[in-house]
Chain A
């Protein structure tokens, strides 16, 4: 084809070809752009919602362990002394798991690097002169310790680690041992003891079990003399008599220095109060093991020193704390029982980051337990030897243990969310200090020792309560209104009414919530009785108005469009409201003896909160009614007119036609409207946030508030640290909301599509 050919318009053939090629190229390009863009966007929108799911996966991961090193420590720990003469008391680790230290019977604290071949960094020997140490006590996990010698002295000391960043280098960890004054507690070797200093005064409290099987409580009390100088008075009380000859196997004093716990070889647990340090008072004595022949072999504290871990010779592990359960008086009780260890329980080490703890037995098995969920999380099989030292690292991400053969093993622990599993998230849990197992949501507390309570049940309960009550209030109004608009109103009126209700759906929920919380709630408290009377008043007056309407001559009433007469009801409602308000005071004194709140409380034990379900239900009605109305109205209007015309022709009245012919035909659509409305009520955030008071109570009462899943997210997510347990739990609640609403909406969509198809066929 030559290039000088032209068509009748004078356009060269070549450039025409070029133009066509360009157009085709554009077409193809557009096709690709739309395909990639469109499919990509839709894929992204749906896929990114799975992202929320990914964020919650770590909550369900079972903890992982990795053996990092096993090293032979015999020569390094003995440090020149004849083998077998040095006894290791315990072991400790720093926060970054770079160093560990051992405390031994020579009174030495040795610091090593934590690696495959540990290097001795430094040795600190306690300056107190003695022939050797007999026992050791760890007073507050990983910082404060005490050691007791063969002459009855107790020497407290602290081990601390400081992190230093030097110019141009990595962080270095500097260890430090600070000694306290030695205390003469007994005249003989101390086999076992507990040491604490009072948090207020710093005065030491020591309870020691000596070689001659005596249990001594030693306390220093500082008193102010006449001239303002302080004098120290020492009290030593012999508690042996109260033990009834039993052999003591464990002594623990809590960090407040107020409670003393002693366990014995005949399976008993004693509890003394040390509130008056000069005279300890025996509060209780309990059988800790099922069989008195089974000895309690070890007791220890969980983080916070309010829960006691008890292990016995049969390998059973349990957690005890004081509770008011079963009586007025709070008393020690066995709360959580864990899967047992294979041999007698030997050592505990509690986490400093939560409610987890390690327990080891005499044949070297270690298990990781979680107190809140009463579950065993992990096993570390041993080598058959008991441990001389066992330590849970401060960040709860490592375990270091040294056994009686001086073999050191170090594990890395991957357990970022130990406190969550299916049971703690949804089940009833007996939390520390509670009187019975409960569903509780309380994510943060005042102290580091706080036990987080992540039960989603009260929140889901609140969401359901809000949604269900809202539906009870809204469904009749919305569906009746939809029937009225679709069946009994002139189409021209209908074309005005529908957009008005659509505008209602668009009202910002923050405005509704604000009005409900700040305007309606206080108002409702004042006119509560009028509100109760109002529905009856309105219905009564409506019937009266109907009666009057039919008395009107048809020459007058026939002039209006069908259904226009119903607008007189606006006036009726107005009159009913005014009448009810006027009756409010008299009725309240007549029925409720002056104050309805007192009356409800004394009659039904119901407490009236200002921000209650009634307020929320009314406000949520504004968001739910228009949705149900619009969709049901569409469904009702789509029922073919032939059906209702047939019914009317056969002599049914308008109401019968509406109820028995049109309503059943549109039932699927109405059901889907209710589903979508329910989904909206479940997800509504601002109204429940502002009008409920947000207390996570579980109570079906109409007169109090609740805390919903959605509001909970809005309140807590800004405060939740990224990647923490609370953060992930909140993501989990978001998934719950997403799943529920997505299911409801899908169900509704499928139903309404079926309905559409049905009438499409019947039309054809």
Chain B
């Protein structure tokens, strides 16, 4: 052993240990997020736990740990955490049960999990289905497939209801609000124009009439939605009648094979990325958050690309290389290291209250004092992030421009091309991969950034997407949802943090996936570039 110290091998291994610890940290984190996120959607088997005190629960095993004894020593006693669902009956979604208290445990094949619009999941058995006044007992072998068919019908009705509520009634509200603002605008400008006023009021009346018909349609649909019911029995024997309109999905995990489960998993995953959230974001999907993130990043890219490239062109191709340019370059480099929250603060002061306030006082006078642009919104968030990421693009583009060999430029100039033509047709095309790398890194950084968004326009639940069917279709002043903020909000401000955990892990997994894929793409492009120039330089 001593010779190992002397030869320095022991130190080398310890330095290797540091590296391995770092690698294990990354790997462990990615593994943790992936298993916790992806695993939470898997339709786990549902066990029936009968306790010694006579009570019984249907639940999915979520955790198992040893119970601390009185002396602090972990004994042989274990306890399990079950997701028992039925929040409306038990008040809680989860329950810790000591294994010593469990009398028996089995996995009944007919145990049903209902995913509901309200109150979370329901665990129980199907007792009967009431369909158009006709009763189908749960013991009927076809009962469950009938139930699934009925739920599918109910979901279709649900979609129609949503369409009316969001589409028709949304249009009506939008129209009324517009006319109301026109009326207020007249008053604000001090214009006295009875003809116009009457016209606006008439339009409002018209909208209100349309609202009546939509409302009647809705009523009919709701009646149809709640006509059929399922009568369920919980593990403890409580009977509960659930209208089928309140059910999103039903499955019997214990009687599903692996393939079936996988199919169900895919369906669930699709629901997760394409649905709106429910129940204070703890259930349903995260579609608005994905949409908000993507749109924000898009707007940011549109802003950051031209500005970043022009600035880099100036620094590298046009400006005289001197002390001034070197100082500017250091400043730009350093901006990339300035905390993101500082950019957020700037966004609040300059964009929201500064420019937003001016826009409001000039163009949206009639809506005041409620601000239109003078508050957080997707435009301000995107611009703030553009400011945050523009150094990344500048630095990457500059690197790309610097790597273009001098002889290529000189060749182009010697053939009579102007400087602009050389830059545009020769230099930029060769630097394009580097510029792309810069953009990808900027997008990756923007996707993961949350702190500046929290103060410039992200909300936990936005009533409308920033793009819809009303002119001008893209509503830059609207607040929006964001994947990163979704994680923060669900994990730390949700009333039911425990129930929200699968959602948070899933969202975190999605976010990490996007960021890691973007980064790896950027790294691969960059490495290719390096190789290319390394060979061309030889």
Contact = CB atoms under 8 A, between A and B. Distances in A.
B492 A517 contact: yes
A506 to B, nearest CB: 4
Nearest to B390: A45
Interface string B102-124: 00000000000000000000000
A641 to B, nearest CB: 17
Contacts of A622: 25-26, 29
B523 interface: yes
Nearest to A33: B310
A546 interface: yes
A573 B27 CA distance: 13
B418 A26 contact: yes
A735 to B, nearest CB: 8
A180 interface: no
Counting contact residues on chain B (CB < 8 A from A), the size range is: 35 or more
Interface string A737-764: 1100110111001100000000000000
A508 interface: yes
B17 interface: yes
B349 interface: yes
Interface stretch (B68-76, B173-181, B232-240, B462-470): B68-76
B22 interface: yes
Interface in B330-352: 330-335, 337-342, 344-346, 348-350
Secondary structure class of chain A's binding surface, majority of residues: helix
Given A737-B341, A741-B338, A570 B448 contact: no
A731 B354 CA distance: 14
A588 B69 CA distance: 13
B346 A51 contact: yes
Interface in A504-548: 504, 506-515, 517-519, 526, 538-539, 542-543, 545-547
Given A26-B420, A34-B317, A746 B330 contact: yes
Given A26-B418, A484-B19, A742-B334, A653 B8 contact: yes
A569 interface: yes
Given A23-B421, A515-B32, A546 B447 contact: no
B273 interface: no
Nearest to B333: A749
B349 A511 contact: no
Interface in A625-658: 625, 629, 653-656
Interface in B7-25: 7-25
A363 to B, nearest CB: 46
A546 B15 CA distance: 12
B4 interface: yes
A710 B511 CA distance: 23
A653 to B, nearest CB: 4
Interface residues of A, number: 113
A578 interface: no
B20 A506 contact: no
Nearest to A52: B346
Q: Which of B65, B72, B444, B484 has the most CB of A within 10 A?
A: B72
Interface string A470-503: 0000001110110111001000000101011111
Given A45-B387, A508-B450, A510-B448, 5 more contacts: A26-B420, A478-B22, A481-B18, A586-B73, A737-B339
Interface of A: 23-24, 26-27, 29-31, 33-35, 37-39, 41-42, 45-46, 48-49, 51-52, 55, 476-478, 480-481, 483-485, 488, 495, 497, 499-504, 506-515, 517-519, 526, 538-539, 542-543, 545-547, 550, 563, 566-567, 569-570, 572-573, 584-586, 588-589, 593-595, 621-622, 625, 629, 653-656, 659, 676, 679-680, 682-686, 689-690, 710, 713-714, 717-718, 722, 730-731, 734, 737-738, 741-742, 744-746, 749-750
21 contacts: A30-B424, A35-B318, A480-B15, A480-B18, A488-B12, A488-B16, A503-B523, A504-B25, A508-B484, A519-B32, A539-B14, A543-B10, A569-B20, A589-B73, A629-B22, A655-B8, A685-B340, A686-B451, A689-B451, A714-B341, A714-B455
Interface of B: 1, 4, 6-26, 29, 32-33, 65-66, 71-74, 307, 310-315, 317-319, 328, 330-335, 337-342, 344-346, 348-350, 353-354, 387, 390-391, 418-421, 423-424, 444-445, 447-451, 454-455, 484-485, 487-488, 491-492, 497, 501, 504, 508, 511-512, 515-516, 518-520, 523, 527
